[in-house]
Structure 1
Amino acid sequence: MNNRLSTTLRWLALPCLVAAGFTAWYVNREIASPFEQQAAEQDRALVGRGEYVARLSDCVACHSLPGQAPFAGGLEMATPLGAIHATNITPDRDTGIGAYSLADFDRAVRHGVAPGGRRLYPAMPYPSYAKLSDDDVRALYAFFMQGVQPVQQANIPSDIPWPLNMRWPIALWNGLFAADTPYAQQATEDPLWNRGAYIVQGPGHCGSCHTPRGLAFNEKALDESGKAFLAGALLDGWYAPSLRQDPNTGLGRWSEADMVQFLKTGRNQHAVVYGSMTEAFNNSTQFMSDDDLGAIARYLKSLPGDPARDGTPWQYQAVSAASELDKPGAHSYVTRCASCHGLQGQGQAEWIPPLAGASSMLAKENASAINITLNGSQRIVAAGVPDAYRMPALRQQMSDEEIAQVLSYVRSAWGNHGGAVDAKDVAKLREHTDPASSSPIVLHMR
């Protein structure tokens, strides 16, 4: 009996040892780079190209703090496991990336592996940056090494506790969920579509916010082959809406010209940037070329919506809030909201957005509607000029119940069908969020 048990255990141990050996090899293997043994190029044009790629990638938004040196790191980012801090990516050799070779830089940006094999947390959007072309990686490296001033500033350790802070499992996560090859041109599509797909999937990393995540915090899809790609997601107290052709919660009612205008100026007839998109606009999209903005619009216009998810298309129903004062929340709307958004919810041209038909008032997720009512909006800075109009924070003027009632009214008026808001949801966001800054925040790259 003992011999039989011993034999069984040996046979069971064999596959375990093989699996352990494979895991150890997979986790510790060196990621190949096409830039091995290649030296940095001294080329001003390449540095300029790299600066533009950095704008496309919005590197400055995470790796810089207002009023401090560009790219010196320090921004705290909350995750479900604990807080992490953006690192110093200036060319300082001691605390930044100044000692990185081009191959080291490539492995960090496209594969999330720092020199020495240390795995980066996927808060760094390398699952998207994996699609960067070799030329853009080379240009980006030239910019950071030659166009950015070195800053000696130590990095802040993460607050993620042991054993969750062990990084070797990230290698397995990468194998399951991260892309590992550059973007491949789709032969059936034209160059404009392909350029848009490249920016959206790669440097623009739009899916980091707009694609829902799975149980392992992975984006459920990385390109248009998955229906979940850019279908809308809850993130940091905001609901990033669908970028697909969903007429209610997405871009189904937007023309390509509407999309270009929104990304270039921060507003159009349908919406004004707010929430996390304000940072993306202030620091990235407004600096993109018109050709690239047109390419993004062409690509997004090609992504079909999902009627099963989005529901019956919204249709405007004209009614004045002043005629519905008997409804809960209507009086608050008339006294606090109508002077800007109008008694019929149609806003003020392109300056103050309509609430009738707004995606935040049609989506089942109510986080964005609550958050902007509680905390207001950051200032949009277009072409160096701060916006004169911003949503004020109402957390001091209105109770949780009052905010819930006025939002429930708006989300059911004028054909909106987002559903009622519970005061408990307002209280939760009130506790975990802060008012938006009224000061213009633009992060400089030089």
Structure 2
Amino acid sequence: MSYARNFGRFARCLVPALLLATAQAPAMAQQPPAKPAAQQGAQQALIERGKYLAQAGDCIACHTVPGQKIFSGNRAMPTPFGTLYAPNITPDPETGIGKWSADDFHRMMRTGRSRKGELLYPAMPFASYTKVSRADNDAIFAYLRSVPPVRLQTREHDLRFPYNNRALLIGWRTLYFKEGEFVPDRSKSAEWNRGAYLVEGLGHCAMCHTPINMLGGSSEERAFQGGLIPMQNWYAPALNSNKEAGLGTWEIQDIVDLLQKGVSNRGTVYGPMAEVTFNSLQYMNDADVRAMAVYLKSLPSDLPVNVDPGKAPARADVTQQHSQGRRVYMAQCASCHGEQGRGKLPHYPPLANNQSITMTSAVNPIRMVLNGGYPPGTRRNPMPYGMPPFAHSMSDHDLAAVVTYIRTAWGNRGAPVTVREVNELRSATVE
């Protein structure tokens, strides 16, 4: 009897379990099979390649607020027209790009239009990104889809009228945007073409190193001639082969070192360029950085824009400003940069024959003396030497005098600096 009762109890449990298993069997059969190891490996390789390309494009600089989660957006970008906020590009389906397809992403990069067809403001460098290949866009998209999603709504842009009217972008695009993938120049080497693709495309170097007009546009005729970066009070130097203002007298290795390490025998990166080296260029492989240097070195020279022997300032060794500047320099600067401005490589850059010192605009040397600064800590220069600020210890007169001195001493042919220029920059850079 007990056996029968136990068996009956077992049967009553077994039958529903079998029925449940039978009912679930079709559903279980519909689950997608696990990807083969080779396919998983290929996907991971695509993601790693996309990460490399996203670093080459310096996506983190705009789409990540320092200290916040990567690519979660909302970093403010001040412009002469108001403040723009970079969008969330994590794979969150509600506030990021979780609902985007690879086609949507490629279309945005190629055309400068959002997934919904809205015209993008050109703070997003789509005029450069349009040159990126479909394969590279797909890799970047795969990488972005692999980062942790962040639920964070992007802030609305805060633009003044009439710049908040996106319809005006049609005119801007007509003047300054040419859609189309990079086309290799068959008369050039593979290395030159790779460099051109990176500089003109993902690197979007022309965005800072080309003069920008009052409409926020730039012309191809003046590409890479250098220019003041709006709202940042830094001057991006010329990157063409001009021997006076550009890279014409630089060795390829000096360009590579500056881009990848942040320091070279010819200079050191500070300000916005230090951020580019830190976030982007230090992670690029040697071949790609060299290709960029080869391409930049080949860019045709423009007419000298900041050095004209016929208009050079008179050597005013006897003037009060020059004498005052020399006294300040010997007391404050010579211990690191040397009495003759030769510097102490690799830690203290030379000031003599330094093009960043003698450019038409004196904002860079003024800012460095005012605020000091460090080059970026990079994999090849992990412990950089910095420069202390002198804003607290130098008057505007002393600072103008010492910057004038380093711009005119040792054969440098820069123009003198006025007290007013110093005062304006001191006021503009106060936090």
TM-score bracket for the superposition, by shorter chain length: 0.7 to 0.9
Aligned to 1:49: 49
TM-score with structure 2 length normalisation? 0.84
Contact preservation (8 Å) 1:247, 1:310: no
Kindly name which structure, 1 or 2, has the bigger radius of gyration based on alpha carbons: 2
Cα RMSD, aligned residues only: 2.2
CA distance in 1: counterparts of 2:262 and 2:90, whole angstroms: 29
Q: CA deviation at 1:211?
A: 0.7
Does the residue aligned with 2:120 lie in a helix, a strand or coil?
coil
Q: Deviations 1:290-342 (Å, cap 9, x if unpaired)?
A: 110111111111113234435358xxxxxxx9xx9971311111111111111
Q: Deviations 1:182-229 (Å, cap 9, x if unpaired)?
A: 1001111111110000000000000011011233211211xxxx3x11
CA distance in 1: counterparts of 2:365 and 2:381, whole angstroms: 26
Change (3 A) 1:379 1:256: closer
Q: CA deviation at 1:385?
A: 6.3
Does the residue aligned with 1:84 lie in a helix, a strand or coil?
strand
| Pairing of 1:262-341 with structure 2 (within 5 A) | 262-311=258-307, 327-341=323-337
Match for residue 390 of structure 1 among 381, 386, 390: 386
CA distance in 2: counterparts of 1:190 and 1:312, whole angstroms: 34
Change (3 A) 1:376 1:111: farther
Change (3 A) 1:192 1:42: closer
Does the residue aligned with 1:117 lie in a helix, a strand or coil?
coil
Does the residue aligned with 1:50 lie in a helix, a strand or coil?
helix
Aligned to 2:225: 231
Contact preservation (8 Å) 2:194, 2:292: yes
Q: CA deviation at 1:434?
A: 4.3
Identical amino acids, percent of aligned pairs: 40
Q: Stretches of 4+ moved more than 3 A in 1?
A: 310-313
Contact preservation (8 Å) 1:243, 1:250: yes
Does the residue aligned with 1:202 lie in a helix, a strand or coil?
helix
Change (3 A) 1:327 1:137: same
Does the residue aligned with 1:402 lie in a helix, a strand or coil?
helix
Does the residue aligned with 1:116 lie in a helix, a strand or coil?
coil
Q: Deviations 1:319-373 (Å, cap 9, x if unpaired)?
A: xx9xx99713111111111111111101102211011111122211111111121
| Pairing of 1:69-148 with structure 2 (within 5 A) | 69-146=69-146, 148=147
Does the residue aligned with 1:175 lie in a helix, a strand or coil?
helix
Change (3 A) 1:326 1:75: closer
Contact preservation (8 Å) 1:91, 1:149: yes
CA distance in 2: counterparts of 1:44 and 1:326, whole angstroms: 61
CA distance in 1: counterparts of 2:423 and 2:96, whole angstroms: 41
- Greater helix content: 2
Contact preservation (8 Å) 1:42, 1:142: no
Aligned to 2:158: 159
Contact preservation (8 Å) 2:371, 2:390: yes
Change (3 A) 1:403 1:183: same
Does the residue aligned with 2:107 lie in a helix, a strand or coil?
helix
| Pairing of 1:169-318 with structure 2 (within 5 A) | 169-221=168-220, 226=221, 228-235=222-229, 236-311=232-307
CA distance in 2: counterparts of 1:326 and 1:117, whole angstroms: 58
Number of residue pairs aligned between Structure 1 and Structure 2: 382
- The letter for the 2-side match of 1:154 is Q
Contact preservation (8 Å) 1:379, 1:387: no
Change (3 A) 1:326 1:312: closer
Does the residue aligned with 1:297 lie in a helix, a strand or coil?
helix
User: 2:342 matched to 1:346?
Assistant: yes
Q: CA deviation at 1:133?
A: 0.8
Contact preservation (8 Å) 2:324, 2:398: no
CA distance in 1: counterparts of 2:96 and 2:413, whole angstroms: 50
Does the residue aligned with 1:128 lie in a helix, a strand or coil?
helix
Q: CA deviation at 1:266?
A: 1.1
Aligned to 2:16: none
